[in-house]
Structure 1
């Protein structure tokens, strides 16, 4: 009988060790977002290479707004039919992934 009570106490004692939750140190996450400043320009100020690339990649696209940053990268807000999109291009008409 003593062995049965002792065995039950050991089993219950070992199970309570698994019930506790381990504490983990809180990890700090830091996100740095660098966004180039774009200034709005007229559609006439967009280089011909960018306009040609736009019409080649998106036939029938209408240029709604154009923005440029100091690296001469263009942010173009376009609409094709009833869909709107924002695309990025460099001064030579090469598409950028932002």
Structure 2
């Protein structure tokens, strides 16, 4: 009799778990990134060179790019570590 009661309890418990309705809420996240177009240039203004020399002693300029807002993206090497620095035309370092 105990086995019958235990079996009935297990069967009813299993059936009630399968009969439950499951709701799944999904959220869509739309990520929009704006990447400003930078064009490669050969030389940077002297103010930028001076600012980089002061901020990063021993800096080497690898490549330089400029966008329409006259913001500069400069690839530099300091003590064999490559980095990218953003500046304005006056040499002020921007945080991006």
TM-score scaled by length of structure 2: 0.76
Structure 2: tracts of 5 or more residues without a match: none
Cα deviation digits, residues 69-88 of structure 1 (max 9, x gap): 00000000000121110110
2:93 aligned residue: 95
- Aligned-pair RMSD on alpha carbons? 2.8
Give distance in 2, aligned partners of 1:74 and 1:54.
12
2:74 aligned residue: 76
1:55 aligned residue: 53
1:1-98 alignment runs, 5 A limit: 22-43=22-43, 46-98=44-96
- 1:35 aligns to what SS in structure 2? coil
Cα deviation digits, residues 36-80 of structure 1 (max 9, x gap): 00000012xx11111111001101000010000000000000001
How many positions carry a matched residue from both structures?
A: 92
TM-score scaled by length of structure 1: 0.75
Structure 1 residues 21, 59: closer, same or farther in 2, change over 3 A?
farther
Structure 1: tracts of 5 or more residues without a match: none
Q: CA deviation at 1:22?
A: 4.3
Give distance in 2, aligned partners of 1:58 and 1:21.
62
